[in-house]
Structures are given as structure tokens and as C-alpha cells.
Amino acid sequence: MLRAWSRGNYFRVGGENQINIQGAVKLKNILTLLFTIMVLTACSNEKIHYDYKYNGEGEYWKAQYSFKGTEIWGKKDGTITYSNENNDNFVLTYKGSLEEISTVKTLEYSYKTSAGGGSSTMEFDEPPTEVTFKHGGKSGNGAKVNEDEVIQVNVKWDDYEETFELHNKNRRKDSY
């Protein structure tokens, strides 16, 4: 026997069983919200941001290399997708005074990472005007530098040459 009561929004089914309509509506709203979140999560991209800084020095030169970017993982038509964007910046600094390198005619430097690297050669007709030299760029969907890698730097100035390594001192403890 089914009887409806208007007061309290209860239905009586048979004898002892009662269903609270307000509770059922709340449960329906919660389930709808959870389903919507699951659908949106399945369609959204996962973004991973990274910002690595590598430092090192030799007897005459010191350098810093920074690599910053974002990886985007997603899913399209059942296939996993991946893209990335990154910026890198290399700064090489002579540790002595500007006067000490005033006679330099040629400066060459290079750095090598797992994602590539960079190099520059400068010819000076007049003495250098600064002790810091910069190289950088931006790329999309290229290789990513590893957080724990060691970057090799080579500097040649006239008849001198120095090689040293850059290390990421702030890498996560779980990196190997």
C-alpha cells in the first residue's frame, strides 16, 4: 500500500519503510557533481612546471644555467598527448676584473646538456666592455633537461682554456 504525505515530504510504502525525498534529492545532486568532476578530470590536461638552476665554476670562470618550463600531458581521442614549452638561459662570468681580460681577442664558450646546449664565439677588435656573457632561448615541444644532470662547460679565450661542470644544488632528494 502506497500513501503520500505532503507534510515532511515522506512517502509511506507498505508499513514501516519511509523514504525522505529531501535526502534523495541531496544524494542525486552529490552524485551528479561527482560525475561532472570525473568527466572534467578525464578531459583536462595535467601540467607539470619545472624550474632548474645549475651552478659551477672553474679557476677563472663561473656560470649559471637555468631551465624553466611546463610539460602538458593530456588525452585526445583515446591517445595520450604530450607537449612542452621551455626557456633556457646561460650566463658566463669572468671571475677577475675587466682589466684582466682587456687584451682578449677571441672568446669561445660552449655548454652541453641532454637536451642540446649552446655555444658562442666572439671576436673583439676593442677590449671587452663587460665580464658577463649571456646566451638563451625559448622552444616548444623540444627535449627537456633532466633535473639531476651535470652540464659540461668549456671556455676558450685566446691561448687559454678551462672546463668545468654545473650542478643543480636544489634538486629534489628523490632524484637519482
Who has greater pLDDT, 138 or 9? 138
Place of cell 672553474: 58
- Structure confidence at residue 137 (pLDDT): 82
Can you give 75-89 as a three-state secondary structure string? EECCEEEEEEEEEEE
* Distance in angstroms (rounded) separating the CA atoms of residues 11 and 17: 9
Separation in Å, CA 101 to CA 48, 62, 91, 170: 42, 15, 17, 32
Task: Return the CATH number at 67.
Answer: 2.60.40
Domain that holds residue 92: 46-166
The total number of structural domains that make up the chain? 2
User: Based on the domain organization, do 61 and 72 belong to the same domain?
Assistant: yes
User: Based on the domain organization, do 20 and 86 belong to the same domain?
Assistant: no
Q: What is the pLDDT of residues 66-123, one digit of tens each?
A: 999 999 999 888 899 988 899 999 999 999 999 999 999 999 999 999 888 899 999 9
User: Based on the domain organization, do 122 and 60 belong to the same domain?
Assistant: yes
- pLDDT of 174 > 80? The answer is no
Kindly report which listed range (2-11, 24-33, 165-174) carries the lowest average pLDDT score. 2-11
- Structure confidence at residue 169 (pLDDT): 85
**What residue type is assigned to position 129 of the chain?**
T
Q: What is the pLDDT of residues 15-72, one digit of tens each?
A: 555 555 666 566 666 766 665 555 444 556 799 999 999 999 999 999 999 999 999 9
